[in-house]
Amino acid sequence: MTADHAQSSLAAELHTFAAHRNELLGRAKGKYVLIKGQNVVDVFEDRTDALVRGYREFGNHPFLVKKVTDVDAPLNFTSFQL
């Protein structure tokens, strides 16, 4: 999915992910990547490990942990509206 991330509080990290997606797919498909700003910090097998590393490096500040996949399939909700 191509998207404008301007509304997200993680806009910088999402742009970084998009810029590195193909390279990440080649070496870390299905793993979790930790991104802060324009930096791809590391990749992890386990999401919690990525989160702990993020807390250790950045404390309680925004960072992105994202599974490396080909597409961002949206989650579906049938019972509540925004």
Partner 1 sequence: MPSFTGSVPNLVDVGPLVEILISPSRAFIDTVRTSDPNALIASPLRATSMIDTGASGTVVNPNVIAALGLSPVGSVFIHTPSTTEPIECDQYHVDIAFPNGVSFPNAVVICAPLGMQNIKCLIGRDILENAVLTYIGYINQFTISF
Binding site for partner 1 (CB under 8 A): 1, 3, 5, 7-10, 13-14, 47-48, 51-52, 54-56, 59-66, 72-82
C-alpha dihedral, 13 to 19 to 25 to 28, nearest 10°: -40
Q: Shortest gap between Cβ of 9 and partner 1 (angstroms)? A: 6
Nearer to partner 1, 27 or 56 (CB): 56
Pick 1 or 70: Cβ nearer partner 1: 1
Would you say 25 and 70 are in contact if contact means Cβ atoms under 8 Å apart? yes
CA distance 55 to 49: 10
